[in-house]
Amino acid sequence: MDRIAQAFAKTRREKRAAFVAYLCAGDPDFDTSLAACRAVIDAGADVLELGVPFSDPLADGLTNQLAAQRALDSGMTAAKVFELVRRIREKSQVPIIFYTYYNLVFSNGVDRYVQAAKEAGVDGMLTLDLPPEEAGEVQTACTRHGLKTVFIVAPTTPAGRLARIGAAATGFIYYVSREGVTGVRDQVAANVPEAVARIREHTSLPVAVGFGISTPEQVRQVARSADGVVVGSALVNVIKENLGNRAGLPARLRIVAAELAAGVA
């Protein structure tokens, strides 16, 4: 099995959901970002979702927009993102998913970009603004180079599209639990169990739930019905709040990530 399948098989055996941690690659600089990624992995992340910094991240709220801007300001490029993955791979075999936008893939050459990602150690790719109906070139490249695909289901996704999305994905399905962009929310959307059940009628792949999940209790609530729980902004906020203490930032992030990871146990 590939690393994604292995991770979800492990969490199923342990009768729990997977904890999927999101960080933006290069936020706030390369070395601190590497230490941050290692910190959340050490804290119990089953999957690392690595945001590829982009100047126009239309699916992201302010927290993740600012993270991408910090990364770009620090000089992050596609080549440096791949290098970051290689450095993470020196010490960890945790699955790494690229959270990216199609222009970043297209502008570098789809096949070349996917091949470079795979060679660096990336396991799967979620291209936020690329629906499966338009993803043929990316799917072909991912199949050729052994990279898994992740596609999104939203609360507004018509029932008629679920089979198409389920057939296109090869890694897992990402259910966006709320309309709008990423960000911390006070409450989890009420219909998550029903939505996950509806998606499972059309796929045997794991279903991970994200957007707006930011506390251990919210993680625990979603983990009751989902195969994976994605937390992003709550972790990125730790980076923002500790920009003046970059040496101590990984330790603080490890504490917060461990508290969140405990919610899936």
CA atoms of 88 and 93, how far apart (whole Å): 8
By CB atoms closer than 10 A (0-12, 13-18, 19+), residue 22 is buried
Q: Facing residues of 22 across strands?
A: 49
Q: Which of 16, 34, 13 is nearest to 25 (CA)?
A: 34
Query: Which of 27, 29, 42, 49 is flagged as catalytic?
Result: 49
Task: Kindly name the residue from 27, 60, 123, 227 that is annotated as catalytic.
Answer: 60
Active site residue 49: yes
129 is catalytic: no
Asked if residues 117 and 98 have their Cβ atoms less than 8 Å apart, the reply is yes
CB atoms within 10 A of CB 189: 18
How many other β-carbons are positioned within 10 Å of the β-carbon of residue 34? 20
In the beta sheet, which residues pair with residue 124? 97, 148
Query: Among candidates 39, 88, 35, 19, which has minimal Cα distance to 232?
Result: 19
Q: Got the DSSP string for 137-187? A: HHHHHHHHHT-EEEEEE-TT--HHHHHHHHHH-SSEEEEE-SSS-----SS
Residues annotated as catalytic are 49, 60
